[in-house]
Structure 1
Amino acid sequence: MTTTKPAQLTPREQRIAPFLARGLRDTEIAPQIGIAPSTVRWHRTQIRRKLGCPTHSYNAILVHHLLAGGHAETPIIGTPAPALNKRELRLIRAVTRWSRHLAIARGARIPPGDYNVALGTLLAKTGAADITELVIRAHSWDLLGGASR
């Protein structure tokens, strides 16, 4: 039986990872560590590749891989987790795996026509502004299993 080694990030990638895990954009990260946004973007691409994230996937997928893999500390959210039903939990898990709405809906076992309403309701219920923040909150609340602290 073979085991896969956790992705090894370079020191610069390790420095950028916590900012990415908080959902910050390249232009927000760059001045904080004194590099150009294009350099942050290049490192983001390298991190995605090393973690096995699809190239053109939602940032939420990258954030999930960083947090689940222990490459960044899970931010602590000051509010308790809301009571979520199985469908809502499936939707959270689905947005950590797929970027296309149809694939997310199928993964969450939601009719595709109900996806936007289901996501909007979930975002409102969790207080998340977007999918990336939803994933960060889900990790903070330990709803995804294996969330690192």
Structure 2
Amino acid sequence: MATPDPFHLSKAQRSVASLVVEGHSNAGISATLQRSESTVRSHIQKGSKIVGCPSGSSRAMYAHALLTRKQVAPPSAPRTGIHFTAREERLLHALATHSRIDDIALAAGIHRDDVRLETDALRCKARALNNAHLVGIAHSLKIFERAAHEAPAGAAR
């Protein structure tokens, strides 16, 4: 007998989550789904808990958790042939797993004052609308899968 999936979003939460991953704002999601912004916020908060995001997690972390747990499909990449350097991939991973600037900087190995500038450059390169969309695009390009497979034995993932 299969173990039930502990990360199960409702249909409404999944609809909202898909739009988060595609880079929509709460107002945009509200307009698209014809729901109030407070309903959208509620679905995001409940969805975040279901997929195991800590309180105060960024939308990028939420997108990463959703995609890692296969709750929604990744957005289509805006173009083929996007190549990220190892430094850019470290920043992508840091954005997907941390919310605070200092933690992102430490995980990415960059100065905290450069996080915003380098993140903006990455979003521009990937033509992402925001960091959640950027993480979604990275998932569609299988950046996180590749990083997990390339980690040396015994390395933290």
TM-score norm. by structure 1 comes to: 0.82
Q: How big is the shift at 1:4? A: 9.3
Partner of 1:116: 116
Report if the CA contact (8 A) 1:81-1:126 is conserved: no
User: Partners in 1 of 2:81 and 2:51 — Cα distance?
Assistant: 27
**2:39 is equivalent to residue 13 of structure 1:** no
**Aligned CA distance change for structure 1 residues 38 and 84 (closer, same or farther; 3 Å):** same
User: Partners in 2 of 1:34 and 1:116 — Cα distance?
Assistant: 33
User: Partners in 2 of 1:81 and 1:126 — Cα distance?
Assistant: 10
Report if the CA contact (8 A) 2:94-2:107 is conserved: yes
**Aligned CA distance change for structure 1 residues 29 and 127 (closer, same or farther; 3 Å):** closer
Query: Which runs of 4 or more aligned residues in structure 1 lie more than 3 Å from their structure 2 counterparts after TM superposition?
Result: 3-6
User: Partners in 1 of 2:27 and 2:121 — Cα distance?
Assistant: 30
What runs of 5+ residues in structure 2 fail to find an aligned partner? 147-157
User: Partners in 2 of 1:120 and 1:78 — Cα distance?
Assistant: 16
Partner of 2:75: 75
Report if the CA contact (8 A) 2:93-2:144 is conserved: yes
Report if the CA contact (8 A) 2:105-2:111 is conserved: yes
Matches within 5 A, 1:1-149: 5-145=5-145
Across the aligned residues of Structure 1 and Structure 2, the Cα RMSD in angstroms comes to 2.3
Aligned residues: 144
**Aligned CA distance change for structure 1 residues 87 and 42 (closer, same or farther; 3 Å):** same
Percent of aligned pairs with the same amino acid = 28
What runs of 5+ residues in structure 1 fail to find an aligned partner? none
Q: How big is the shift at 1:81? A: 4.0
Report if the CA contact (8 A) 1:23-1:59 is conserved: no
